[in-house]
Amino acid sequence: MIDIVLCASGSDEVRIVHDLATGQGGEARVVRRCADLAETLAVTAAGIGDAVVIDLTVRGLGRDVLTAMMRDAAVVGLRPVDSPESTMLGLRHVVSSEAPVEEILAALESAVHGETAEDGDWVQEAVPPEPGAEGRMVAVWGPVGGPGRSTIAVNLAAEAAAAGRETVLVDADTYGPAQSQMLGVLDEAPGLVAAARAHDRGTLDEETMDSLLPQVQPRLRLLSGIGVPGRWAELRRSALDGVWSALARRGGLVIADVAAVLEEDEELSYDTAAPQRNAAAISVLEAADAVIAVVSADPVSITRLLRDHSRLKELGVTELHVVVNRVGPPVPGERLRELIGSRLPLASLNLLPDDPAACRAAAWDGALLAESAARSALRRGLRDLAASPAVLGDAPAPVIAPDRAAPAWRRRLGAGEKMTS
C-alpha cells in the first residue's frame, strides 16, 4: 500500500481522491490532502506518506523545493493540460492532470519502487554547458567598507562594450543593488530574480534570457538586481548557478557586481535547508573565471582584503586581480604595490587614482565616467583595465570599425519607455 500526500487543484483533487476511495486504486490511499506547498513540505518532512502527487503549477514550486521534498518521499508531478509552461522541473515522473487513476498509480509505483539501489538518491542535474561556449565571467568583489566596487564594475563593463566586446553587466549585490541607478535606468525591474525564477521553473531558454537583458548602450546589456534588498531570499543557490550557465552559453563577457560578505551563517541558525543571504556572491565567485578585488588605498581596507583572502581560496578563486582604488597622497603607489604584492599571490595589481569630483558628477547625472569625465586619469585607468587580461583573459582585443570606435553611449530608459532586449 502506497500512502499518498496530495497537493492538487480542486477538481483534480476531488477526482483522484474519489477514484482511489471507490476502489479503482486498491494499491494506494490518500493520507493527507494539502492546501499549499508549505503544508506539503511540512507533511513530507514529518515522514507522512510514501509519495507526493503535486500540481506543477503550485505557487512557489521549483527545483530547490523538489530537491528537498524528494529527500523524504517520491514525487509525481501533475501537469495541467492548459498550463502555459512545458517544464517538468527535472522530475522523472509526470502525468497529465486528466490522466486516469490507473496511469497515476503506475507512475507512483515507478517512483516509489522503480529505482534500483545503484541509482542512488535523486538529485537535480545541472545543465551542462553547450560545446563551443566562450563566455567569460569576471566577478567584481571587495571587502566591506565601500571601496568602489559598483563604480568600477559599471565602468569596466561600459569600457569593454565601447571597445567592441559583447558585455552583460550583472547586479548580484544582495545588500545594496545600485547598477540600474548608476546607469540612469528608470524602469528598473528585478531581472536577476526573474532569471532565477525562470531557471527554477525550467523555462530559462535563450529567448527568455534575452528578454531579461535590456540593452543600455551598444553591446552592453544589463541584468538588473533585486531592487529592494529584502528580496534576497528569492535567490536560491541552485537557481543562480543555472543563471550563470545560461549567461555563459550566450558567449561574450559577463561582469558581475557582488556584495562583500562571504559567510555562510545560515547553517548555524537553521537545522533545515534555508535561503542564504550571501548565496549570490558565493555563487558568482565560484563560477567566475577571474575575480577583481577592489580595495581602497587605506590600511583598513587592505587589511580586510588580506584577512578575506583565505575565504576566497576556499571558494576556489585562482585568478585574483587586485585593484587599489582612490590612490593618492600621502602613500605612493609603489609602496602600495609592495605592501599588497608581497603578501598575496596575484595575477595582477592595478592602481586607480582618487577622483572624487568626477565620481560625484557621474553619480548625480546617472552617467558613466566616459560621459562625465572622459579625459580624467581615473577613466583612462579603467579603460586600460577593461582591455587587460584581468577582464578579457586570453581573448584578443576586439576590433571594431573606426566609425563605431567612438563612445556610442546608451540612451536612458525613461519611465514611459519599454526596455528592449
Give residue 21's pLDDT. 84
Please give the model's pTM, rounded to 2 decimal places: 0.76
Dihedral angle, C-alpha 165, 242, 133, 131, nearest 10 °: -170
60: left (phi over 0), alpha (psi -120 to 50) or beta: left
What is the pLDDT, as a whole number, of residue 199?
Answer: 87
DSSP alpha helices (H): ranges in 270-348?
279-287, 299-314, 333-341
Cα 330 versus chain centre, distance: 40
- Pairing, β 136-141 against β 253-258: parallel
Q: How far is CA 50 from the centre of its chain?
A: 34
Alpha-carbon distance of 374 to 393, in angstroms, equals 25
Residue pLDDT, tens place only, 2-12: 899 999 988 88
Predicted local distance difference test score (pLDDT) of residue 127: 47
Q: Decide if 41 contacts 68 (C-beta within 8 A).
A: yes
Write the CB contacts of 111 (distance below 8 Å, at least 6 apart in sequence): 51, 74, 75, 76, 92, 93
Looking at residue 113, its pLDDT comes to 82
Q: What confidence score (pLDDT) does residue 267 get?
A: 52
Query: What is the pLDDT at residue 387?
Result: 95
Domains of the chain: 2-113 (3.40.50.2300), 136-263+274-392 (3.40.50.300)
DSSP state of 230: G
pLDDT of res. 273: 55
One pLDDT digit (tens) per residue for the chain, 421 residues: 889 999 998 888 898 888 888 876 567 889 999 999 889 989 998 999 999 999 988 887 877 788 888 888 999 999 887 765 556 677 888 888 888 888 999 999 888 886 533 444 444 444 454 454 578 999 999 999 999 999 999 999 999 999 999 999 999 999 999 999 999 887 778 899 999 988 887 788 899 999 999 999 999 999 999 988 888 988 888 889 999 999 999 999 999 999 999 998 655 555 545 678 899 999 999 999 999 999 999 999 999 999 999 999 999 999 999 999 999 999 899 999 999 999 999 999 999 999 999 999 999 988 999 999 999 999 999 999 999 999 998 866 555 444 343 333 343 443 334 343 3
Phi, then psi, of 142 in degrees rounded to 5:
-170, 160
In this prediction, residue 38 carries a pLDDT of: 87
Q: Residue 363 has which C-alpha cell?
A: 553619480
Angle at alpha carbon of residue 388, lines to 386 and 389, rounded to 5°? 120
Q: Packing angle between helix 237-250 and helix 191-200, nearest 10 degrees? A: 100
Rounded CA separation 418/21 (Å): 53
- Which pLDDT belongs to residue 88? 63
C-beta of residue 224 within 8 angstroms of C-beta of residue 191? yes
Please give the pLDDT value at position 87.
60
- Measured in Å, how far apart are the chain's first and last C-alpha atoms? 53
Q: Say how far apart CA 19 and CA 92 lie, in whole Å.
A: 24
